[in-house]
Structure 1
Amino acid sequence: MTTQLTETKTRELTHFVGGRHVAGTSGRFSDVYDPSTGEVQATVPLASAAEVGAAIANAEEAQLEWGAWNPQRRARVLLKFLQLVDRDMDSLARLLSSEHGKTIADAKGDIQRGIEVIEFAAGGPHLLKGEYTTSAGTGIDVYSMRQPLGVVAGITPFNFPAMIPLWKMGPALAAGNSFILKPSERDPSVPLRIAELFLEAGLPAGVLNVVNGDKTAVDVLLTDDRVKAIGFVGSTPIAQYIYETAAAHGKRAQCFGGAKNHMIVMPDADLDQVADALIGAGYGSAGERCMAISVAVPVGKETGDALAAKLAERVKGLKIGHSHDENADYGPLINADAVTRVSAAIQAGIDEGAELLADGRGHVVEGYENGFYLGPTLFDNVTTDMSIYQEEVFGPVLIITRVDTYEEALRLPSEHKYGNGVSIYTRDGDTARDFSARVNTGMVGVNVPIPVPIAYHTFGGWKKSGFGDLNQHGPDSFRFYTKTKTVTSRWPSGIKDGTSFVIPTMH
């Protein structure tokens, strides 16, 4: 919700530009809610084009000094930042939880998966090394070097307000770029705090800037020639828009969109293990994860019947509560609009003929009746033509789509328009190996419910889940945030040549 700021007791947030907090001047603000209570707890400014331009100018100037630092000196800043995050982990997690709604334990996981990429990025001195060939020709050496792009930007989603910004900025900063972050306006406080901690860790002022905003801010980042690369995570329509617009303006872009992640359950799988995995992967963080498993695919009637019974029983035991409730399995959704949207998707599933085993609509948490809560919803006998199978719901909704054979199961994720991640549960190594090789998705889990790779491997989906040829974290991230320069060098040492009009060869 966008508002004009009026007299209020809520906190007024800022931008972070040039190493300091800067009040918004556009006159436009957005409300930041406490999802657990439904109350507005802060207002965040939405930047004007001029404010974004000022941040870009700060970043461009600061990058000259930062890019000239040697890689190990930059790495020391990242290492110091890790110490500060460890020091402030509890307060960061509570702040994140209060704006997003995920539990404290889940918030700490959000931060932890982010700092693992910072740990990887601290190895930048090794990853930035070029290649060298001596005596490629008579008296000729050839070598390459990786150099920073300059000013780069990240546009990040509400569902991981620590992890995704850190995934973007860690490699970018280690490579010598300056960085402009446009976080989600729904939960911007942790990104602002991250900027403060980087400054405390020794990052020069202006190297990392946080600009809060909406499409106005995004479009400036996409069209300003001083910004050389854009990283994005969010919905598929916006990912495609950002990718196409960035490319049209000569920028690099890595844009990650929606998902419909399947879990294939083979007849030989341990169904108790599968049911536990699906409950965590489907309902954790209220289903607001791009890597959530939202489709269970049991192979065979016996497998499907047994799995549906186990899931229905486990769903009854889930506790939904305030994000700071240590006993809650998951908390609220991000806002009232999300509750309305997911509730409509549930109704569509009912209308289309899916079998409703558990209905999470209308869930009330005692004492927090105005919070944005939905209980767990479970559907069985969902067919592939139904909207709840075709579209990403992004809420605590798990569906069961039954098949008769392994080949049918393989086809479902392979033919779906999204290709983010998939998991298979089986005791058979041949089946797992065949599935991993043939399935048409970017990330695969074998007896792993949420197949998010560790930080030194790369993360990225296929098809409408990802746009661009270089993925997040791992070595791809350093390739994305650097440009390669190749030098062919010769020192004549008294060799006398005549004039030549041909390309030299390396004989």
Structure 2
Amino acid sequence: DAEGDVFRGLEVVEHAASIGNLQLGELANNVAGGVDTYTLLQPLGVCAGITPFNFPAMIPLWMFPMAIATGNTFVLKPSEQDPMVTMRLVELAMEAGIPAGVLNVVHGGEMAVNALCDHKDIKAVSFVGSTKVGTHVYNRATLAGKRAQCMMGAKNHAIVLPDANKEQTLNALAGAAFGAAGQRCMALSVAVLVGEAQQWIPDLVAKAKTLKVNAGTETGTDVGPLVSCAALSRVEGLIERGIAEGAKLELDGRKPQVPGYEKGNFVGPTIFSGVKPGMSIYDQEVFGPVLVLVGADHIDEAIEFINANPNGNGTAIFTQSGAAARKFQEDIDVGQVGINVPIPVPVPLFSFTGSRASKLGDLGPYGKQVVMFYTQTKTITARWFDDSTTSHGVNTTISLK
């Protein structure tokens, strides 16, 4: 996932290099006699970004390239858990020619976050991270009169119809649920198995068992460690609560044997079935390699189940039916939809469009929306006169005469 972290971020840099086409205004010629109206997309000034630990390259690259390309300066606060990758990005950006003072870094925790939200010179704040912190950032920044976009927690569901390509679907579920040890806001956390697809549980467990748990620096690793001892304790605690609350533990990933890394923060792929709303492992974002399975009799029931969840970051359907896929994309109330694609994070030509409880603010990262986020639209209505222009007297109306 570290390679993807870099390359998906570089896609945004490439997109920012197209800013000449992205930051075009609009023109309406001769809207009234000799009157033209046009818009300019002008930079806000100073903008800020607050990024999480899980993608220390990609998420900063979601932010500062587009902010700077649209003419702003930028203050970046990386996660205090792994700031060095972000620092290296900034060094490379400055080596590439970004002038001193245009891209800046501050470190710290809550005090640094609050300072960015409060500072009078900062006009916009972009955030990716937990729902708790994102809600705090949004409320504090907007109270100070700033624009804010906050991409927050999720509980991403996938529907599996029995007509889906079985092997491709099992591979997709395992990769999206357990890759990066589940520490992704777009991780697949819930699979809704429809009809006969509920018989695939043993096959899914067998697929998950093939994944190798090891240090991320070791060749062939599929599932690396959790970010901290606190994260390990939290994930193991949620697994224990899942058992206590009545879910069936199909695969227990606790305490895996990882030679040479016996004290590592490892949890292997973990699968629960028989999960219901109200259980902690369903209601909370685990942020670990835990996949919960839910059954449904038909697609309408599955869609209704997903729409009842407050989160709306991403969702997917696995099917060979175009009609079912079209029904899903129209009826589902989630901002980003995958059809046989488990993690539907769009390429930067499009915007990241998480919704509902997963997002605060109306404009998302990258794509066309982020150009609007980092710019102020100025609308100009212009008329030019020369000495031979005939005067029609005083116009006391609001009409353009």
Q: Is TM > 0.5 for Structure 1 vs Structure 2?
A: yes
Give the 5 Å matches for 1:49-448.
106-300=1-195, 302-305=196-199, 307-448=200-341
Matched-pair contact (CA < 8 Å) for 2:232–2:267: yes
The residue matched to 1:401 in structure 2 has which SS?
Answer: strand
Cα deviations by residue, 1:89-142 (Å, 9 ceiling, x for unpaired): xxxxxxxxxxxxxxxxx1111011111011111111111111122222222222
**CA distance, structure 2, for counterparts of residue 372 and residue 364 of structure 1:** 11
Distance 2:396 2:110 in 1: 53
Quick one: which amino acid aligns to residue 411 of structure 1? E
What CA distance in whole angstroms lies between the structure 2 residues aligned with 1:269 and 1:457? Answer: 27
- Summarize deviations over 1:200-252 as a string: whole Å, max 9, x none: 11111010001111010110110111000000011112111111111111100
- Over residues 373-428 of structure 1, what are the superposed CA-to-partner deviations in whole Å (9 max), with x where a residue is unaligned? 11111111112221111111000001111111211100122110111111000111
Give the TM-score normalised by structure 2.
0.97
Q: Equivalent residue of 2:174, what SS?
A: helix
Moved more, 107-116 or 237-246: 237-246
| Residue 466 (structure 1) aligns with | 359
> 1:490-505 to 2 correspondence within 5 Å?
490-494=383-387, 495=389, 496-505=391-400
**Match in the other structure for 1:61:** none
3-state DSSP of counterpart to 1:450: coil
Q: Distance in 2 between matches of 1:327 and 1:194?
A: 26
Distance 1:117 1:164 in 2: 10
Tell me if the contact between 1:319 and 1:329 (Cα under 8 Å) persists in the aligned partners: yes
Q: Which residue number in structure 2 is paired with residue 488 of structure 1?
A: 381
**Cα separation, 2, equivalents of 1:497 and 1:326:** 81
C-alpha contact (below 8 Å) 1:133/1:143 kept by paired residues: yes
Does the aligned pair in 1 maintain the 2:223–2:268 contact within 8 Å?
A: no
Query: In 2, Cα distance between the equivalents of 1:323 and 1:462?
Result: 31
Per-residue CA distance 1:243-263 (angstroms, 9 max, x = gap): 111111110000011111111
Measured after TM superposition, the shift of residue 157 of structure 1 is 0.4
* CA drift at 1:497: 4.8
Letter in 1 for 2:198: G
1:124–1:175: 8 Å Cα contact kept in structure 2?
Answer: yes
Tell me if structure 1 keeps the 8 A contact 2:312–2:333: yes
Distance in 1 between residues matched to 2:353 and 2:151, nearest whole Å:
7
Asked if structure 2 preserves the Cα contact closer than 8 Å seen for 1:272 and 1:310, the reply is no
Corresponding position of 1:58: none
Assess if the C-alpha contact under 8 Å between 1:415 and 1:440 holds in 2: no
Aligned equivalent of 1:21? none
> Does the 8 Å CA contact 1:260/1:392 hold for their aligned counterparts?
yes
Q: CA separation in 2, counterparts of 1:415 and 1:210?
A: 40
Letter in 1 for 2:272: F
- Aligned alpha-carbon RMSD (Å): 1.1
User: Matches of 1:132 and 1:324 in 2, distance apart?
Assistant: 53
Contact 2:50 2:127 in 1 (8 A): yes
Give SS of 2:362's match.
coil
**Structure 1 residue runs of 4 or more that deviate by more than 4 Å after TM superposition:** none
Distance, in Å, in 1 between the alignment partners of 2:353 and 2:145 is 22
CA-CA distance at 1:490 after TM superposition? 1.3
Q: Aligned partners of 1:134 and 1:357: how far apart in 2?
A: 66
Alpha-carbon deviations, 1:164-197, whole Å to 9, x = none? 1000111101100000000100110011111111
Q: 2-side partners of 1:409 and 1:257: how far apart?
A: 24
C-alpha distance in structure 2 between counterparts of 1:122 and 1:487, whole Å: 27
Residue type at the aligned position of 1:174: A
**Residues of 2 paired with 1:413 and 1:177: CA distance?**
39
TM-fit CA distance, 1:371: 1.4
How many pairs were matched up? 399
- Kept after mapping to 2: 8 A contact 1:256/1:460: no
Percent sequence identity over matched residues? Answer: 49
* Matching residue of 1:38: none
CA distance in 2, matches of 1:146, 1:315: 49
Letter in 2 for 1:187: D
Name stretches of at least 5 consecutive residues in structure 2 with no aligned partner. Answer: none
Residue 392 of structure 1 aligns to which amino acid in structure 2?
A: E
Gaps of at least 5 residues in structure 1 are: 1-105
CA distance in 1, matches of 2:292, 2:166: 16
Query: Distance between the aligned counterparts of 1:139 and 1:418, measured in 2?
Result: 51
Residues 258-295 of structure 1: CA distance to partner in whole angstroms, max 9, x if unpaired? 11111100111122211111110000000000111111
